[in-house]
Amino acid sequence: MEIIQHDVQRLDRLISDISDASRLDAELAREDAEPVAMDELLRATVSLFNDIHRDDTPEVVLDIAYAPGAHPYRVSGHDSRLHQVIVNLLENAISFSPPGRPVAVVARRIGPDVQIAVEDEGPGIPEENLERVFERFYTDRPQENFGQNSGLGLNISRQIIVAHGGRLYAENRPAAGAGRGKGDTPSGMSGGARFVIRLPAA
């Protein structure tokens, strides 16, 4: 019974993720992009996460830099889909965070782009998998979570960002105090994962 229940749960998750992904093209193709204030979207999403925050889950810390202009963090797109990307990245970051360590969401204006980074202090991602993690059905999680995840989250997230004219990529944060550049960090000494979203500002 336990095995059957476990499999049913897994299939349920898989089917809802797949059906969600299949609606994506049609939805994003529609010409109904609207102005989306990413700063407001981040504030709302982060406070949602912190409201359901339990003692054993990481706190999400939001850092939005001041930028000149009336609406520096405005992009053109689909509010609910952009929200979904942030949720996907936050759920991943939280699931890989060591107990008690925060997750950071950092928003910056970089030239004509809005950049949003989701950073954790978990194990990071092996260099050779930085692109693979975006493949459909790619999932690699500790034993106790085996079979619970569809491996579609990052793939869907990237599709959404690309459809918005942007980029989504992963990198490792240098280990604290290591003073080494990216790529030099020996495995097992990562300072955690960072997922970076770049969107053209509207």
Ligand X SMILES: Nc1ncnc2c1ncn2[C@@H]1O[C@H](COP(=O)(O)OP(=O)(O)O)[C@@H](O)[C@H]1O
The residues that touch Mg ion, with contacts defined as CB under 5 A, are 92, 153
Compute CA distances 187 → 92, 116, 174, 192, whole Å.
20, 25, 11, 11
Question: Using CB under 6 A, which of the segments 22-30, 73-81, 147-155, 171-179 binds ligand X?
Answer: 147-155
Q: Which does 159 bind (CB under 5 to 8 A by kind): Mg ion, ligand X, none?
A: none
> Can residue 190 be called a binding residue for ligand X (CB under 6 A)?
no
Question: Quick one: which of 133, 160, 197, 201 contacts ligand X (CB under 6 A)?
Answer: 133
Who contacts 103 (Cβ-Cβ below 8 Å, separation ≥6)? 58, 59, 60, 61, 90, 93, 94, 97, 118, 119, 120
Question: Quick one: which of 154, 160, 197, 199 contacts ligand X (CB under 6 A)?
Answer: 154
- The amino acid that residue 196 corresponds to is V
> Can residue 90 be called a binding residue for ligand X (CB under 6 A)?
no
Shortest separation between residue 158's beta carbon and Mg ion, angstroms: 12
Question: Quick one: which of 79, 139, 163, 200 contacts ligand X (CB under 6 A)?
Answer: 139
User: Could you tell me if residue 141 is left (phi over 0), alpha (psi between -120 and 50 degrees) or otherwise beta?
Assistant: beta
Residue 193 or 201: the one with the smaller Cβ distance to ligand X is 193
Compute CA distances 134 → 7, 139, 140, 159, whole Å.
24, 9, 12, 10
Residues forming contacts to ligand X in the complex (CB under 6 A) are: 88, 92-93, 96, 120, 122, 125, 133, 138-141, 149-155, 193
